[in-house]
Amino acid sequence: MFTVSESEAETIRRAFHDRGEWSAVVELRRLFPVFANNPEALRCVRAIAGWQPLPAAAPPPKVTQLRRRKPAESLP
């Protein structure tokens, strides 16, 4: 398991789209020398290249103040 930062992912995606998947494998192995075989690195490159940006976060719900009840009138 490894963690890929957004800048590393962008470098890999750029290599993938501009020069092909094997160039992206080279970039991945340059950034993460732990990959010893190309098939595993290629599988990871394809996954990283397919990532989509997350949708924008929904705005937080509006917080409203609770209204206090008027005190009940005392009975005579």
Q: Between residues 69 and 8, which one has the greater pLDDT?
A: 8
Q: What is the pLDDT of residues 15-61, one digit of tens each?
A: 999 999 999 999 999 999 998 899 999 999 999 999 887 788 888 88
| pLDDT for res 22 | 94
pLDDT of 74 > 70? The answer is: no
pTM over 0.85: no
CB 48 within 8 A of CB 12: yes
Check pLDDT > 90 for residue 69.
no
